[in-house]
Amino acid sequence: MANSDYYAALGVRRDASQDEIKKAYRRLARELHPDVNPDPATQERFKEITQAYEVLSDPNKRQMYDLGGDPFGGAGAGAPGGGFGAGFPFSDIMDAFFGTATGGARGPRSRARRGRNATIRVELDLRETAFGTTRELQVDTAVLCEVCQGVGAAPGTHPDTCDMCNGRGEISQVTRSFLGQVMTTRPCPQCGGFGSIIRHPCQECSGDGRVRTRRTIKVRIPAGVEDGTHIQLAGEGEIGPGGGPPGDLFLEIVERSHEIFERRGDDLHCTVQIPMTAAALGTVLTVETLDGAEEIDVRPGTQSGQVITMYSRGVQRLNETGRGDLLIHVNVETPSRLDPPQEELLRELAKLRGEERPPGKFAPGQQGFFSRLRDAFNGR
């Protein structure tokens, strides 16, 4: 391959960066690797791109190649009988397939690991979610073992170095393949990759470094939370195995329904029923709000379905200033039963207003069933 174009072999420009060259090689290695495609022609192509990558990934060899010199000095990966030289990028082949190189020392794993997150449900009424509150919560969780302080070994003892891996946490194995001798590593089966063995575990925590208990925490619920809100309490979750850092605690807010108000975002809605006479003449009503009883004016001629807005009587906005509104929906009641004097008075009123036989007023869109069905077929 002395006269080959290494850049063309990898499909990159002559001014390609090292990152572009590496990505191109990984992509081709996944397609042409003999384990994926054993065809002899493909194996030759695989050797070509490997030699090209070995040259172009090395700044010195690449410079020599660009100047027309021999980047291998007469003995390289592609030299006859030379096999794969010391510069063969085996780790990059493994990286192309597995995302990590084999043979690299990783060292023992730490027994201390981060604890899990936990979630508890907190039920609140509307007033508590609107204005905020403070709660004391009972949490069943894992805490640091006070006997061994998270080490996991019984008092007076300590973990022993694993005699199989000598504390490395992994063992190496050499195998032969078409590439030559390949060294692979895997976690030590005796110590589980920790590099040490607890021969005398703590009796309190059974070597886990933590115990389960119930503790009480005091939390502040901010104003404006609603049903489904999650509050994160950093570091209030479970202590991790081996005395590792704690996870987080999440509070899931569950808002109980209110007997009067319906919440829609930061606004509150309710319905008030008033008699026909009060709607016609106007009146003053006493209504309940989250701030206590307050009076509102019902203007003369109020119609059923109208909305009276009490500004800033809703829920406090979460993490903001100001509050939502209270919207009162008016429902005008028509009497269904009248005694003779009441009926006589209403008839007299209807006579005075010329409403003994009212013509009726139909608003646009108030069609009958058959009219709506006809329009649906006509595509209106």
DSSP 114: P
What's residue 85's pLDDT? 43
What's residue 62's pLDDT? 87
What's residue 257's pLDDT? 95
**Ligand-binding site membership of 270 (annotated):** no
What's residue 331's pLDDT? 95
**Ligand-binding site membership of 162 (annotated):** yes
Q: Specify whether the CB–CB gap between 85 and 217 falls below 8 A.
A: no
* Domains, in order of start, for the chain: 6-98 (1.10.287.110), 111-154+205-257 (2.60.260.20), 270-352 (2.60.260.20)
Using DSSP bridges, classify how beta strands 196-197 and 160-161 pair: parallel, antiparallel or unpaired. Answer: antiparallel
The first and second tokens of residue 128, run together, are 């508590």
What's residue 13's pLDDT? 87
What's residue 379's pLDDT? 52
Long-range contacts of 288-294 (CB under 8 A, 24+ apart): 288/260, 289/313, 289/326, 290/126, 290/127, 290/130, 290/131, 290/261, 290/314, 290/315
DSSP 335: P
What's residue 180's pLDDT? 64
What's residue 67's pLDDT? 77
**Ligand-binding site membership of 191 (annotated):** yes
What's residue 343's pLDDT? 87
First to last CA, the chain: 76
Q: Specify whether the CB–CB gap between 308 and 317 falls below 8 A.
A: no
- How many residues would you count in the chain? 380
Rounded to an integer, what distance in angstroms lies between the CA atom of residue 76 and that of residue 6? 14
Rounded to an integer, what distance in angstroms lies between the CA atom of residue 249 and that of residue 246? 9
Burial (Cβ within 10 Å: 0-12, 13-18, ≥19) of residue 270: middle
Q: Which residue ranges in the chain fall short of pLDDT 50?
A: 1-2, 74-88, 90-92, 95-105, 369-370, 373
